[in-house]
Chains A and B, each alone.
Chain A
Amino acid sequence: MSVTRHNAAHSQAMSFTAQAAVKTRNPVLQKALQKAKPLFSGKRAKAIAALPDDGLEFEQLRDACAGIRDRVLGDLDVWLEIFEENARARGAEVLWARDGAEICDLVIDVARRHGVRKATKSKSMLSEEAHLNAALAAAGIEPVETDLGEYIIQLAGEAPSHIIAPAVHKTLAEVEALFAENHGRPQQPRTSDDIPALTREARGVLRQHFLSADMGISGANFLIAETGTAALVTNEGNGRMVTTLPRVHVVVTGIEKVVPTLEDFATLMRLLPRSATGQTISNYVSLLTGTRADDESEGPTKTVFILVDNGRADVVGSHYREILRCIRCGACMNHCPVYFSLGGHAYGWVYPGPMGSVLTPLYTGIENALDLPHASTGCRQCSNVCPVRIPLPELMHGLRQEQQRRGLRPWGERFGLRAWAWIAGRPRLYRALTRIAARYLNWLADGQGRIRIFGFAPGWTAARDLPVAGGRTFFEQYAARKRD
């Protein structure tokens, strides 16, 4: 399938295990991650705990939010058509893209039709899926990322490492070096007291881009079917800038982002900012509908929606459909021990953390992201915090089962599991073999109660010891206790 091939060509998800080894040994990255970790989870916990003060219950809101998303996804064709009709009725153009290459073609075509030379961008993960910046630059159109985090990583020539905090892996010293180099000034020693000054410096540079851009490109947090509206949630105000100042506004967003009504949007907004940053509301929430009115002297005169499949349509009817509920809050990665050990880049494609470990195999091909569904400790924190109740551990488990069914796991693993299943189906044989194994392990442990290096599978004991249970199986111990 072409969608999968296009995405797989841009994915490094197959090198997850190798990248994991590199990332855990990178002290600068580890410092940045350890600093961010308690902030994310602490702020969210406080915001969720305060809900009952206003007579709201988290579980009740989660049910409502999951219900809204399921209602749309269960009739997605109908809701997309209603959105399209209402957006067109307000003068917006609605285009459709099968994959990232088509996104690039459509955006470049709109830009050429309107004589666009510079495009300011509010954060859009879809543009990362499409590698839109590179395509724009190749077509002679200057793309400028304006979310501060996205701007930093654009200067660094990197991809975002988190869906709401794209530069979470960057330290202050790295930001200072990037700004000095790109803003044409000498590098200075910096402390955290200088962060406001650096922010101000970026504000000055980006303000000039806002004022001179011909086109604004944004994503959409939601598409509201009732009104044909794009909803945009930001804290910095860059979303407002790119949708107010340029002549042309292009919204690039996934087909799964539709919600029915303004009331549904209001419900989702009670959990999105709380789950993402622990805010009760983000500083700027904008509902953008159609184009500039005849008597207005600002706002885009041309508004284009690009509704993108890029793998989504095939998930609608699959066993993994619940992942399409995702509202991109980032709570799953903010609570994931694997994410905070590695950062986002190790995941190899656009989306990191638990949601990425499900989305990347689905959008780039299960055979092209074999490690990601295994990037789990089984702690279930991701599904405990998910505001739309996505059963992330179960979806990852489903992907692991599918790898087995399709023969995508290594020979040794497949044989081992098959052999274990055969033995486990024969209780007498199983008990006899486990008795032997327990005694053998005890002998290997040499009375220490633990094995430091396990010769058959050294990976298991590379960073920990394998405890052994005194030479007797569970069945033997259970039987002995029953006798007592």
Chain B
Amino acid sequence: MSARDEILGRVRAGLAKGDAGSRRAAALARLQAHPPGPRPTLAGDLVARFRDKAQSLASTVEQVDDYAAVPARVAAYLAGLGLPAQAVTALDVAGLDWAAAGLAWRSGVAVDADPVGISGCFCAIAETGTLMLLSGASTPASVSLLPETHIALVPAARIVATMEDAFALLRAERGALPRAVNFVSGPSRTGDIEQTIVLGAHGPCRVHLIVIGENA
């Protein structure tokens, strides 16, 4: 007997329920309904909540009125920290005028030597101060992973309350999950040496969020 059939057989023997057909129908009905569990009620506006939570997770946040203002703010952020004005950008944000702000840039998949990665996001979650990034040809996951500095552009209109709201947006706009959905909440961290928190374990050491929109 195959391992699969033996394992499933033992599970069935343990459950002793019979009638797999009606149990399967009930399970599929559950998937159709996908009811949510207890969700938070967030006080105040979502942008402020997102900013506060992101900052509490060691991200830095600034706000601008529109996309045109972004490249100069990125250049100023990097200069302020003495970081190189050199970045790899995801293709979906490659259309901004990075060169005018004095940035040496290219778009595409990130490599080890890239000091800065600039990405957009699918949406952001106010409850936990989290970015939701989808993998894809124009949104490579490595841009938010390999560089020591990750800068993410967050349209204020794409800030939702909870992870459930983010999933609802994904179901509505994409239907299926991409290969990777990455929820990112601040810089990479570890506490594995004597429970001392250190930022920049394997991923970015710093995450800078630029919130874009008139109500920002």
User: Interface residues, chain A, CB within 8 Å of chain B?
Assistant: 32, 35-36, 39, 54-57, 60-61, 64-65, 68, 71, 74-82, 95-98, 102, 146-149, 152, 165-168, 170-172, 175, 192, 195-196, 198-200, 203, 206-207, 210-211, 225-227, 229, 235-238, 240-241, 243-245, 255, 260-264, 266-267, 269-270, 277, 280-293, 295-299, 307, 309, 313-318
Contacts and interface: CB of A to CB of B under 8 A. Distances in A.
B38 interface: yes
Nearest to B36: A263
B167 A195 contact: no
B40 interface: yes
Contacts of B112: 207, 211
Contact of A309 (B7, B24, B182, B196): B7
B28 A82 contact: yes
Contact of A261 (B34, B42, B196): B34
Nearest to A202: B201
Contact of A283 (B23, B30, B188): B188
B8 A80 contact: yes
Given A57-B38, A195-B198, A225-B31, A244 B7 contact: no
B157 interface: no
Contacts of B164: 263, 266
A176 to B, nearest CB: 9
Nearest to B4: A96
A210 B37 CA distance: 37
B194 A195 contact: yes
Contacts of A61: 37-38
Nearest to B201: A236
A199 B185 contact: no
A108 B3 CA distance: 17
Given A35-B194, A237-B201, A55 B41 contact: yes
B40 A54 contact: yes
Interface string B1-44: 01110111011111111001001101110110011111011100
Contacts of B179: 288-293, 296, 299
Nearest to A307: B7
Contact of B14 (A71, A167, A313): A313
Contacts of B158: none
24 contacts: A54-B40, A71-B30, A79-B27, A102-B3, A148-B190, A172-B193, A227-B177, A236-B203, A237-B202, A244-B180, A264-B34, A266-B167, A270-B38, A277-B191, A285-B185, A286-B183, A287-B177, A289-B178, A296-B137, A298-B141, A307-B7, A309-B7, A309-B10, A317-B14
Interface stretch (B63-71, B73-81, B93-101, B127-135): B127-135
B15 A55 contact: no
B142 A77 contact: no
A172 B196 CA distance: 10
Shortest beta-carbon contacts, A-B, top 7? A317-B14, A237-B203, A267-B37, A54-B40, A236-B201, A149-B192, A55-B41
Contacts of B186: 283
A78 B36 CA distance: 21
Contacts of B30: 71, 260-261
A77 B8 contact: yes
B27 A280 contact: no
A314 B37 contact: no
Residue from B24, B167, B196 with most neighbouring chain A CB atoms (10 Å) = B196
Contacts of A148: 190, 192-193, 201
Contacts of A241: 145, 202-203
B198 A96 contact: no
Contact of B185 (A55, A262, A263, A281): A281
Contacts of B41: 54-55
Given A36-B195, A266-B164, A237 B188 contact: yes
B200 interface: yes
B172 interface: no
Contacts of B184: 283-284
Contacts of B203: 236-237, 240-241, 283-284
Contacts of B137: 293, 295-297
B11 A313 contact: yes
Interface in B116-159: 127-128, 130, 135-137, 140-142, 145
Contacts of A296: 135-137, 140, 179
B53 interface: yes
Contact of A167 (B34, B185, B193): B193
Residue from A168, A283, A313 with most neighbouring chain B CB atoms (10 Å) = A283
Contact of B38 (A56, A243, A297): A56
Contact of A243 (B136, B180, B187, B204): B180
B8 A281 contact: no
Given A61-B37, A61-B38, 14 more contacts: A74-B17, A75-B27, A77-B8, A195-B196, A238-B202, A244-B180, A255-B11, A262-B34, A267-B38, A287-B180, A289-B176, A316-B14, A317-B15, A317-B16
Contact of A266 (B31, B108, B162, B191): B162
B47 interface: no
Contact of A78 (B23, B34, B130): B23
Contacts of B16: 317
B46 interface: no
B14 A318 contact: yes
Contacts of A95: 3
A236 B183 CA distance: 13
B180 A199 contact: no
